[in-house]
């Protein structure tokens, strides 16, 4: 895949950049600007090279038509603050305002288009509808740079089809993400541990299955752990449970044992009588969860156990919090795990925090991005890469220029 350095002199050229600016909002207030900060270096580098930069991105899940709550206007303001320059904002994506403002750009200026998903063609299932919208996007620019790693697993107009219409390259962010993921999948330095959390085990079955041939240890926490505990025959009370996945998990446990992959489960959990920060809660053994309680975090002994299992690792990938970290009584396990990763990072290990809730959690709990080897901007894309799936937004970049 070409990088921006392979595009030659970009001065005066209109460069369309597909960024991932899908940040969480509370009204119009951005609560985590990590994706904006991660996207800024590519945009700044292009602008500094004299390009006329046209940034496109999505926010939330509008249904193919404008919705005020999903406007990228607050993102334009914050992006300008991060870049240290004014960012022009278009009130539409490929309409009259976008066309006029794109045409008026001067060398080094940055324009952000309104939400891609305000247009049905962006996520259309039919190739023709997607291609038609992609053609409108492509008409705004001379060159395309793909830098939204969080969407490269989607066959969408701004991710896939535009790259087939314009000379293209990967941005710094996508290049860095792919480099890190290759290090996780191609001869990783060992011991190699993968920590998986989050709510549903069904979301992670593919990556678990693929990693049984790669990782040395799998540490399981979060809501998904209760399906593992149930597969071992333990009572899980009112905890989150995917009963239809128990037999599948039993199969993975057997495969792991045969392959010599160590699966580490919590030995204690924080169990509450309701999903609430104010609920009565205490620490119980993982194999003795009361029938009227639900597990909402790994316990202190589990936190120590997980830290011990990571201490000698040279490579660690983490995706998914250990509990309901948004509520203070159930944040300790995720915080302890993050600290364990910080410790092995300082000892020289490659540590990768796999996007989404994990990235939000470490920032909310007071950690800096620089405390870890790499914080991914694409949880779903990272997982699909680790599953061994083909990512359309990357494979199209490997094709020759349009």
Q: Is 18 a catalytic residue?
A: no
pLDDT digits (tens, 9 = 90+) for 161-188: 999 999 999 999 999 999 999 999 888 9
Q: What are the residue ranges of helices labelled H in 156-294?
A: 172-185, 205-211, 225-231, 246-259
358 labelled ligand-binding: yes
pLDDT digits (tens, 9 = 90+) for 126-143: 999 999 999 999 999 999
Angle, nearest 10°, between helix axes 356-364 and 34-48? 100
Q: How wide is the angle at C-alpha 176 spanned by C-alphas 17 and 83, nearest 5°? A: 50
Specify the pairing of strand 281-285 against strand 192-196.
Answer: unpaired
Q: How many residues does the chain have?
A: 402
Q: Is the pLDDT of residue 402 over 80?
A: no
Once rounded to an integer, what is the mean pLDDT over residues 219-240?
A: 96
- Quick check: helix, strand or coil at residue 52? strand
Q: How far is CA 13 from CA 143, 162, 199, in A?
A: 8, 17, 45
Q: List the one residue out of 11, 48, 6, 16 whose CA is nearest residue 144.
A: 16
Q: How far is CA 303 from CA 77, 94, 269, 273, in A?
A: 40, 50, 10, 22
Out of 37, 200, 255, 389, the active site residue is: 200
As a whole number, the mean pLDDT across the chain is 95
Distance of CA 387 to the CA centre of its chain: 15
Out of 356, 373, 378, 393, the active site residue is: 356
Q: Is 101 a catalytic residue?
A: no
Out of 13, 14, 35, 130, the active site residue is: 35
Out of 255, 380, 388, 389, the active site residue is: 380
Q: Is 258 a catalytic residue?
A: no
Which residues have CB under 8 Å from 155's CB, separation 6+?
130, 392, 393
- What global pTM score does this model have? 0.88
204 labelled ligand-binding: yes
22 labelled ligand-binding: yes
Q: Classify residue 291 by burial, with Cβ atoms within 10 Å: 0-12, 13-18, 19+.
A: exposed
pLDDT digits (tens, 9 = 90+) for 100-115: 999 999 999 999 999 9
Q: Is the pLDDT of residue 355 over 80?
A: no
Tokens at residue 305, please? 């156990």
pLDDT digits (tens, 9 = 90+) for 37-57: 999 999 999 999 999 999 999
Q: How far apart are CA 287 and CA 95, in angstroms?
A: 59
Q: How far apart are CA 311 and CA 313, in angstroms?
A: 6
Q: Is 380 a catalytic residue?
A: yes
61 labelled ligand-binding: yes
Q: Are 329 and 281 in contact (CB under 8 A)?
A: yes
Domains of the chain in start order, with CATH, are: 4-171 (3.40.50.1260), 179-387 (3.40.50.1260)
Which residues have CB under 8 Å from 224's CB, separation 6+?
196, 197, 198, 199, 200, 201, 203, 204, 240, 242, 320
Greatest mean pLDDT among 11-15, 20-24, 362-366: 11-15
């Amino acid at each position: 895949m070409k990088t921006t350095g392979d595009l030659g002199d970009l001065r005066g050229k209109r460069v369309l950049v597909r960024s991932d600016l899908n940040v969480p909002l509370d009204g119009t207030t951005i609560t985590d600007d990590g994706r904006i900060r991660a996207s800024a270096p590519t945009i700044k580098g292009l602008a500094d090279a004299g390009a006329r930069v046209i940034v496109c991105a999505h926010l939330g899940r509008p249904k193919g038509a404008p919705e005020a709550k999903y406007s990228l206007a607050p993102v334009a303001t914050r992006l300008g603050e991060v870049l240290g320059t004014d960012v022009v904002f278009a009130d539409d994506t490929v309409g009259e305002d976008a066309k006029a403002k794109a045409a008026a750009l001067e060398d080094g200026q940055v324009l952000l288009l309104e939400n891609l998903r305000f247009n049905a063609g962006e996520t259309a299932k039919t190739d023709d509808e997607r291609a038609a919208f992609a053609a409108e996007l492509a008409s705004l620019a001379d060159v395309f740079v793909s830098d939204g790693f969080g969407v490269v697993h989607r066959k969408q107009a701004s991710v896939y089809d535009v790259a087939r219409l314009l000379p293209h390259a990967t941005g710094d962010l996508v290049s860095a993400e792919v480099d890190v993921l290759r290090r996780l999948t191609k001869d990783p330095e060992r011991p190699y541990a993968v920590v998986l959390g989050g709510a549903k085990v069904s979301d992670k079955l593919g990556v678990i299955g693929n990693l049984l041939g790669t990782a040395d240890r799998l540490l399981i926490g979060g809501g998904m752990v209760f399906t593992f505990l149930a597969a071992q025959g333990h009572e899980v009370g009112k905890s989150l449970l995917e009963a239809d996945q128990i037999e599948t998990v039993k199969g993975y446990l057997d495969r792991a044992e045969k392959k010599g992959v160590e699966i580490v489960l919590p030995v204690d959990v924080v169990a509450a009588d309701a999903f609430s920060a104010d609920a009565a809660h205490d620490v119980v053994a993982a194999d003795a969860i009361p029938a009227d309680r639900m597990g909402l975090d790994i316990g202190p002994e589990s936190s120590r156990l997980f830290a011990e299992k990571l201490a000698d690792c040279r490579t660690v990938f983490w995706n998914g919090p250990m509990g309901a970290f948004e509520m203070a009584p159930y944040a300790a396990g995720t915080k302890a795990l993050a600290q364990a990763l910080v410790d092995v990072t300082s000892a020289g290990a490659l540590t990768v925090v796999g996007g989404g809730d994990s990235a939000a959690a470490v920032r909310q709990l007071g950690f800096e991005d620089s405390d870890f080897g790499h914080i991914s901007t694409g949880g779903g894309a990272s997982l699909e890469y680790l599953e061994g799936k083909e990512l359309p937004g990357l494979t199209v970049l490997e094709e020759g220029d349009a």
